[in-house]
Amino acid sequence: MIDILVYLFENYQPDACPAPAVLTKKLTAAGFEADDISAALHWLDGLGGSENLVPMAQGTGAMRIYTAAEQDKLSTEARGFLAFLEQAEAIDSVLRETIIERALALPAVTISVDRLKVIVLAVVWRRQHAIDALILEELLADDEFDADFDSPADATVMRILLN
């Protein structure tokens, strides 16, 4: 499913992404499996639920405490990366919560930093959130790249995106 998110990020502007039925046909034509397409579209639909959240004021000194389930799902490095993004004011508390919620919605057992970066890119892309070029470069970096992806196809898609 992550490879579909990368494909969408690479090939579509968020406001020009086709309707789900059309997108399903295009993704099928691009060689993606029906189950993966359905899962990815369902995952993207889940991004619509946080518009009513109100962001906390930046610099309040508040700290996000993760539940046991969140700690099990998000690696220590991934949680640290989220803290970095928030401290750098690349994301606000609403985007952070959306990113966490979408990470928890993935079927993967533990979310590594590299997988979290793709999730952040997908959320930022879908929300059309402006992001600093240096932060974007960090999101596109491939620190532990090869160990994180399930298949050579996942790695190939990411290498194409990063080049």
pTM of the model: 0.69
Given the structure tokens 């309040």, which residue do they identify? 60
Q: Which two tokens stand for residue 34?
A: 């029906």
Could you tell me where the DSSP H helices lie in 67-129? 68-73, 76-87, 93-104, 113-127
Q: What are phi and psi of 78, to 5 degrees?
A: -65, -45
pLDDT score for 77: 95
* CB of 27 closer than 8 Å to CB of 4: yes
Show contacts of 101-107: CB within 8 Å, 24+ apart. 101/46, 101/49, 101/50, 102/43, 102/46, 102/47, 103/73, 103/74, 103/78, 104/69, 104/70, 104/73, 104/74, 105/43, 105/46, 106/1, 106/2, 106/43, 107/1, 107/39
pLDDT of 17: 78
* Residue 160 confidence (pLDDT): 44
pLDDT at 9: 78
154 close to 161: Cβ distance less than 8 angstroms: no
Residue 28's DSSP bridge partners are none
The residue among 14, 74, 4, 70 whose CA lies nearest residue 40 is: 4
Task: Give the model's pLDDT for residue 120.
Answer: 92
Q: How far apart are CA 126 and CA 47, in angstroms?
A: 8
pLDDT at 147: 46
pLDDT value, residue 145: 46
Q: Give the pLDDT score at 13.
A: 76
Measured CA to CA, the distance from residue 132 to residue 139 in angstroms comes to 11
Mean pLDDT by 10 residues, the chain (163 residues): 82 79 91 90 76 53 86 95 92 92 86 91 85 83 54 50 41
